Structure 1
Amino acid sequence: MLYMEISTWEPEKRDLILEHFKEIKVPAGVKVHDQWVDLTGSRYFILYECDDAEAFAAFNLPWSDICYIETVPVMKSTDFISVMSRKY
């Protein structure tokens, strides 16, 4: 499944976030497609694929003490339209 995550943090945690980024390791079972940083500060966006609950947890839990993570399952709009056209 494809996920879009938006991570936000308090400005005073910036240095902790930067240290985490330097040490980030993507676990087996997670395929990162792309990542973006909000240039106005305190937000990070990542699009990745994962079908393994353990890999999902290993990827997110190390961040849970310093930022808020909103995870949204997504799909390309063309794929969505195709799926919905077959069903309805």
Structure 2
Amino acid sequence: MVVERFKDGKAKEIYRRFQEKGRMMPEGLKYIDSWVEVNFDRCFQLIECDDLRLLQEWIFQWQDLVEFEIISIVPSKETAEVVTKML
């Protein structure tokens, strides 16, 4: 999960760049879906990748407009399988 915090009300600039250049994700990152807060403060993106360096490359393209928080997550079903083995 990637949490993007839009810097200083820069939502217009972010969407303008997105219209002009797309997500600018390197090959190997897989965009799943995203959700934006109604006040345009944050965007929550679900992204898959096997190489964290690809996230770094992507972040570098947007860091002037967005602050990033990367949260490694595991699907609930897979987590339940791991925990069940320990019970």
TM-score (norm 1): 0.80
1:77 deviation in Å? 1.2
Structure 1 equivalent of residue 14 of structure 2 = 17
Structure 1 equivalent of residue 28 of structure 2 = 29
Structure 1 equivalent of residue 78 of structure 2 = 79
Aligned partner letter, 2:61: P
Runs of 4+ in 1 over 3 A off after TM superposition: none
Structure 2 equivalent of residue 6 of structure 1 = 3
Aligned partner letter, 1:6: V
Give CA deviations for 1:50-81 in whole Å, capped at 9, x if unaligned: 11133221221111122111110011112111
Structure 2 equivalent of residue 60 of structure 1 = 59
The secondary structure found in structure 2 opposite 1:83 is: helix
Stretches of structure 1 lacking an aligned partner (at least 5 in a row): none
The secondary structure found in structure 2 opposite 1:78 is: helix
Q: CA RMSD in A?
A: 1.6
Structure 1 equivalent of residue 39 of structure 2 = 40
Distance in 2 between residues matched to 1:73 and 1:30, nearest whole Å:
14
Give CA deviations for 1:18-70 in whole Å, capped at 9, x if unaligned: 12322222211101111112122221110011111332212211111221111
How many aligned residue pairs are there? 84
Stretches of structure 2 lacking an aligned partner (at least 5 in a row): none
